[in-house]
Amino acid sequence: MKICVLVKEVPDAAVEKRIDPSTGRMDRGGEKNLNPYDTHAIEAAMQIREGGTDVEDIVAVTMGPESAVRALHKAVSLGADRSVHLCDASLAGSDVAATGYALAKALEREQPDLVLLGQQSDDGECYTIGAVVAEHLSMPSLTQVIKMDVADGALRCERQAEYGYDTVQVNLPAVISVGDAINEPRYPSLKAIMGAKKKPLETLGAADAQIDASKVGGDNSGAHWTGVKPPPQKPPGEIIEDEDTNETVEKIVTWLAERKLI
Amino acid sequence: MANILVFALHYEGAINKNSLGAVSEGARLAAELGGEAHAILVGENVPDELAGSLGAYGASKALVANGPEGLAQPVVDAMAHAIEQGDYSYALFGGGLLGFEIGAGLAARLTAGVVMEVTGVRVADGKLIAERPILGDSAISEIEYRSDLGIIISRLNAFEAKQTGAGAAAVEHIDVTLSPQATQATMITRGEQRGADVDIEGAQILVAGGRGLGKPEGFELCEELAHAFGDTAAVAATRAVVDAGWYPYAAQIGQTGKTVAPKLYLAAGISGAIQHKVGMQSSENIVAINKDANAPIFEFSDLGIVGDLNKILPKLTEAIKAKRSA
Ligand SMILES: Cc1cc2nc3c(=O)[nH]c(=O)nc-3n(C[C@H](O)[C@H](O)[C@H](O)COP(=O)(O)OP(=O)(O)OC[C@H]3O[C@@H](n4cnc5c(N)ncnc54)[C@H](O)[C@@H]3O)c2cc1C
């Protein structure tokens, strides 16, 4: 079995995120890291391999600027065997539909049996790329999966949806996004971190992946940003720093009593 | 003509409340655009009466397709078919989970622009502009569509369900051939309720616990505090702890759980993710205890306490007991 894991670099959680006022896009400068949700997808791939299924290849795949190489190194240090970097100026500014299309083209070259993703990206707050990729690859897909067992060329998946927990049988090949409750990602060993840069990394341009240039990039995205405005203002709440807990509790009780909540 | 096709999720004979909101919003927007709002339902033997009932929310027509329930790709097939046959400029989805999967799949199938987490839509020059909060809700971006079809996936509770008093919608059955991918997934069990059947919707006071409780037993701190508040209080939870099996699904607030608006919502060890916030932001008073001063929940709480819940909750419980018996 061959598993491709889609990963992404995102601004480090500690860095304040902002919008570039001239384009309306996220300013993706500053410190970057592997999207923390993606580490659950890599871990899920590792657990399939360690669980006895014959997984000959785990490939981390990303689309992004040159700096995204670091996210791939991290992914490899967490267990991927090699990585693929789709990197081309023409892809910049692609919306979710265009990004999903481009990633699907890169995946077509790999012919994976299973494509895994994290539940969401830490920056853009969207969790739909898996559904876009699956549609382009004509594969079944499910998002937010928190339990996944492989048997006889199919996956048995569990996830929470609108009405409770669903159990769904999905035949391979398939595209699955995993929820963060599926596993506890391991920490990479020092040896794995040191060795990550030596693992094979293939860099692809848009043409290498046979991407139709008229379908990608900011100008060809169907959803187009026109402006940004502040949200309705709500007065900021009161903040108490807990130093002396007895005092803190007294303040909370007074606050609640003033509002007739006790 | 600018018609709008609205996905109507249904389960056990009832239409999802967020879908009703989407139908109402679709009808409002279609009227402004000079078109109609049509609903689409996919399922095994959907009763005509259920589909027709969407007329009361403003749908002039309800399309019904036979297909497996609870999975996205069969609905993508049905909606793509309807859009190819009909005259639609927009597809609209209420908040939840399936709508995100369907909307994204449809965008890929029909090369359409898609915007998710939409909290408002307005008409400008005969076209729709979608508003989407970004950066932890600190700004709202406005997005227009350049594609023939625009897809709008709204945030939970973005649109209110409004009965307009109109009669039943005309029901039309459509024949849809499933795509290869749609035949490769099968629902085994749907809507399993994990954990006890607790009631949080009737409570005036909710003490909600999250991953910051550290372990399943951490919920005892929340239960004791709720108990101190008296009969009108109950305990609620985040998806993180429900998925982990620490607390029942029936107590979960948020995008794939309940929507609540109690007099007091007190969060302990909850970060305040958007998917949680959408289910409780209408609460009258929001109090949060979190040890991380940068936790997003402080952005929308009325009273925030930066500190360790293990220290604060037991003392707060004692203080409230004392106050109530005084
Ligand atoms: C499609 C989708 C649907 C979702 N639906 C839902 C939903 O319906 N409901 C929902 O809740 N979530 C939902 N989520 C998940 C959501 O994004 C968050 O992951 C989740 O709400 C986080 O739960 P949490 O706050 O308990 O955990 P965390 O985000 O891990 O936060 C724990 C918090 O506890 C604090 N903490 C730790 N120790 C202490 C201590 N000793 N004292 C005080 N504070 C402490 C930490 O600082 C942290 O802020 C959904 C996600 C997706 C992608």
Amino acid at A44: A
Q: In sequence order, what are the residues at sequence separation of 6 or more whose Cβ sits closer than 8 angstroms to the Cβ of residue A164? A: B190, B191, B192, B193, B194, B249
What pLDDT is recorded for position B119?
97
Together in a domain, B79 and B136? yes
A120-134, B36-50, B199-213: segment of lowest average pLDDT: A120-134
Cα(A150)–Cα(A141) distance, integer angstroms: 15
> Does residue B8 carry a pLDDT above 90?
yes
State how beta strands B120-124 and B127-134 pair. Answer: antiparallel
Nearest to B312 by CA among A251, A9, A228: A251
Helix (H, G, I), strand (E, B) or coil at A59: strand
Q: Check residue A221 and give its pLDDT.
A: 85
Please give the structure tokens belonging to residue B92: 């609209």
- What separation, in Å, do the N-terminal and C-terminal C-alpha atoms of chain A show? 60
Q: A146, A160, A242: which to mutate for ligand 1, most atoms within 8 A of CB?
A: A160
- pLDDT of the residue at A14: 58
Distance (Å, rounded) from C-alpha A135 to C-alpha A143?
13
How does A96-128 read in b/e, with b if 16+ C-beta sit within 10 Å?
bbbbbbbbbbbbeeeebbbbbbbbbbbbbbbbb
Instruction: Say yes or no for a CB contact (<8 Å) between A162 and B11.
Output: yes
Domain end residue (candidates: B153, B183, B213): B183
| Cα–Cα distance, A116 to B224 (Å, whole number) | 41
Instruction: Kindly indicate the confidence band of residue B257, based on its pLDDT and cuts at 50, 70 and 90.
Output: very high
Residue ranges making up the domain that contains B233: 205-325
Mean pLDDT within B93-105 = 96
Among all residues of chain A, which has the CA nearest to that of B253?
Answer: A162
- Identify whether B231 is part of a domain: yes
Per-residue pLDDT reduced to its tens digit, B101-124: 999 999 999 999 999 999 999 999
Residues written for chain B = 326
B197 located within any domain = no
Q: Which domains does chain A have, with CATH numbers?
A: 2-215 (3.40.50.620)
Give residue A234's pLDDT band: very low, low, confident or very high (50, 70, 90). Answer: confident
Q: Please report which residue ranges of chain B form alpha helices under DSSP H.
A: 17-33, 48-52, 72-85, 98-110, 219-229, 239-243, 274-277, 309-325
A199 to chain B, any CB pair closer than 8 A? The answer is no
C-beta separation of A94 from A216 below 8 A: yes
Which residues of A fall within a CB distance of 8 Å from B112? 97, 222
Looking up residue B225, the CATH number of its domain turns out to be 3.40.50.1220
Contact assignment for B105 to A131 by CB distance below 8 Å: yes
Residue A28 has pLDDT above 60, yes or no: no
- Report the C-alpha dihedral over residues B43, B49, B51, B53, rounded to 10 degrees: -150
In this predicted structure, what is the pLDDT of residue A125? 60
Closest Cα in chain B, distance from residue A241 (Å): 5
Q: Residue B151 pLDDT more than 70?
A: yes
For ligand 1, residues with CB inside 6 Å are A 119-120, 127, 144; B 97, 210-212, 238-241, 252-257, 269-271, 273, 275-276, 289-292, 295, 308-310
Q: Which of B183, B214, B249 is the last residue of a domain?
A: B183
A169 beta partners: A156, B186
Which residue in chain B has the smallest CA separation from A19? B135
> What are the pLDDT digits (tens) for A162-174?
999 999 999 999 9
Percent of chain A surpassing pLDDT 70: 92
How many domains would you assign to chain B? 2
Residue B261 domain-assigned (yes or no): yes
Report how far residue B102's alpha carbon sits from residue B107's, in angstroms, rounded to the nearest whole number: 9
Angle, nearest 10°, between helix axes B72-85 and B98-110? 50
DSSP structural state of residue A35: -
In a domain, B189, yes or no: no
Q: What distance in Å separates residue B201's CA from the closest CA in chain A?
A: 15
For residue B237, report the distance from its CA to the centre of ligand 1, in Å. Answer: 9
CA of B141 to nearest chain A CA: how many angstroms apart? 4
Mean pLDDT of B33-45: 97
Residue A25 has pLDDT above 70, yes or no: no
Same domain, B213 and B179: no
B227 and B146 within one domain? no
Of the candidates B139, B181, B302, the beta carbon closest to that of A19 is on B139
Q: Residue B293 pLDDT > 80, yes or no? A: yes
B122's CB contacts (< 8 A; 6+ apart) are: B128, B129, B131
For residue A236, the model assigns a pLDDT of 86
B228 and B267 inside one domain: yes
- The interface pTM score, or ipTM, of the predicted complex is 0.96
DSSP secondary structure code for residue A26 in this structure: B
Residue B138 and residue B286 share a domain: no
What pLDDT was estimated at residue A218?
A: 85
- Please name the amino acid found at residue B290: N
| Ligand 1 atom index nearest CA of B97 | 1
Confidence tier at B150 by pLDDT (50, 70, 90) = very high
Helix (H, G, I), strand (E, B) or coil at B64: strand
Q: What does the alpha-carbon distance between residue A61 and residue A78 come to, in Å, rounded to a whole number?
A: 14
Nearest residue to A145 (alpha-carbon basis) of A176, A169, A173: A176
User: Closest by alpha carbon to B257, among A159, A145, A167, A164?
Assistant: A164
For residue A70, the one-letter residue type is: R
pLDDT at A21: 64
Mutation probe of ligand 1 site: the residue of B275, B277, B287, B312 with most atoms within 8 A of C-beta: B275
pTM of the full structure: 0.96
Say whether both B89 and B137 belong to one domain: yes
Q: Nearest chain B Cα to A18, which residue?
A: B135
Q: Whose CA is nearest to atom 19 of ligand 1?
A: B240
Instruction: Give residue B321's Cα distance to chain centre.
Output: 36
Residues B211 and B176 in one domain: no
Residues B148 and B249 in one domain: no
Per-residue confidence band for B133, with pLDDT thresholds at 50, 70 and 90: very high
Pick from B136, B144, B315: which is nearest to A226 by CB?
B144
State in Å: Cα B86 to ligand 1 middle.
42
pLDDT at B40: 98
Higher-pLDDT residue of B165 and A59 is A59
Q: Is residue B159 a part of any domain in this protein?
A: yes
CA distance B297 to B312: 17
A57-105 tens-digit pLDDT: 999 999 999 999 999 999 999 999 999 999 999 999 898 999 999 999 9
A13 and chain B in contact, CB less than 8 A: no
In this predicted model, which residue has the larger pLDDT, A122 or A53?
A53
Residues B227 and B155 in one domain: no
Burial level of B241, CB count in 10 A (0-12/13-18/19+)?
A: buried
- The vertex-B113 CA angle with B111 and B116, nearest 5°, equals 130
- Which of A175, A220, A243, A256 is the best mutation test for B, with the most CBs of B within 10 A? A256
* pLDDT bucket at A219, cuts 50 / 70 / 90: confident
pLDDT, average across residues A221-245 = 92
Which of B134, B149, B183 is the endpoint of a domain?
B183
Task: Quote the minimal CA–CA distance from A257 to chain B in Å.
Answer: 9
Q: Note whether B173 and B56 are same-domain residues.
A: yes
Q: Tell me, yes or no, whether B25 and B115 share the same domain.
A: yes
Inter-chain CB proximity A138 and B187 less than 8 Å? no
What's phi and psi for B114, nearest 5 deg? -135, 140
Residues of A in contact with B116 (CB under 8 A): 96, 126, 128
Asked whether residue B194 is assigned to any structural domain, the reply reads no
Contact criterion met (CB < 8 Å) for A135 and B243: no
* In a shared domain, residues B179 and B220: no
**CATH code, domain with B155:** 3.40.50.620
Please report whether residue B190 resides in a domain. Answer: no
Type and span of the H or E element at A98: helix A96-110
Closest by Cβ to B323, choosing from A170, A227, A257: A257
> Residue A228 has what pLDDT?
92
Each residue of A32-44: pLDDT tens digit? 889 999 999 999 9
Smallest CA-to-CA distance from A230 within B321, B131, B12 is with B131
pLDDT tens figures, B182-197: 999 999 999 999 999 9
Are the CB atoms for A115 and A222 separated by under 8 Å? no
Give chain A's length.
Answer: 262
pLDDT category of residue A145 using cuts at 50, 70 and 90: very high
What mean pLDDT, rounded, does chain A reach? 93
At residue A22, the pLDDT reads 64
Query: In this structure, is residue B14 part of a structural domain?
Result: yes
Evaluate whether A215 touches B280 at the Cβ level (below 8 Å). no
pLDDT value of residue A11 = 83
State which H helix or E strand residue A49 sits in: helix A38-50
Instruction: Say which DSSP state A162 is in.
Output: T
Q: DSSP secondary structure string, B101-119?
A: HHHHHHHHHHT-EEEEEE-
Mean pLDDT over residues B256-265, rounded? 98
Question: Which amino acid is present at B301?
Answer: S
A73 φψ region: left (φ > 0), alpha (ψ -120 to 50), beta (else): alpha
> What does the block give as tokens for B202?
């009737």
